[in-house]
Amino acid sequence: MAMNFHLETGLEILPMPGEQRSGDTGMIEAKDGLLTATLIDVLGHGDQAADLADKTSRALSAWGDLQPLDTIERLHQQFRGSRGMVASCASIHADTGILEYCGIGNISARIFGFRTHQFVNRDGVVGYRMVSPKTHMFQLQAGDVFIMHSDGITSRFYNEDIGSKLDLPAQKIAEHVMHSYNKGTDDTSCLVVKVHTCR
């Protein structure tokens, strides 16, 4: 398979101030030219939320590279009756640059780049109550930056021009978003995928 794109990733997760552990969790996995990125915000915070976040990451690792919609549906089945979570999952094909995305609840997901795009999630709580999730597709180009974050990030971030920061490495972009736009009242997470041309 021809890899036309190099996908550089960053992930930053912080507990709410005063807590030791986070109920937000994220996973990035790259295998055979497919990058899968998932971000989870378990409802509430503290140890109980963190315990469920840990269980969720273990489940995600065990399942391997499901399609985003299957990941969301499987999370819903597996954690039915739990306190619930919001979740977004994306998979990116390094050969074509096609991104598949599926999310339920208020994880925010956006593309910054040649064309900006905001993915719209269906409402609901994974593990509690949700309507059928929907897959969205987006054609990425070199230079695009895909950012997912939980609602620990202030909505002020939507209106900010972070243009110059997009040149930073993916991990530094995640850290910038986390530190400049953190509400400071919730667990917070930010996941970044930067698209480069392969050479």
Binding site for Mn ion (CB under 5 A): 41, 150-151, 186
In this complex, which beta carbon is closest to Mn ion, that of residue 63 or of residue 128? 128
- Return d(Cα 58, Cα 163) in angstroms, integer: 35
Shortest separation between residue 22's beta carbon and Mn ion, angstroms? 10
Shortest approach of Mn ion to residue 122 CB, angstroms? 17
Whose CA is closest to 90, among 104, 105, 100? 100
In angstroms, what is the minimal distance from the CB of 180 to Mn ion?
18
Q: Contact, 182 vs 20, CB < 8 A? A: no
CB closer to Mn ion, 12 vs 41: 41
Which residue, 39 or 99, is less far from Mn ion as judged by CB?
39
Q: Give me the least distance between CB of 16 and Mn ion, in Å please.
A: 9
- In this complex, which beta carbon is closest to Mn ion, that of residue 23 or of residue 97? 23
Which tokens belong to 31? 């295998």
CB of 158 to Mn ion, least distance (A): 16
In order, the DSSP letters of 114-147 are: SS-EE--PBPEEBTTEEPPP--EEEE--TT-EEE
CA–CA distance, 109 with 147 (Å, rounded to integer): 6
Cβ proximity to Mn ion: between 100 and 186 the closer is 186
Rounded CA separation 108/88 (Å): 8
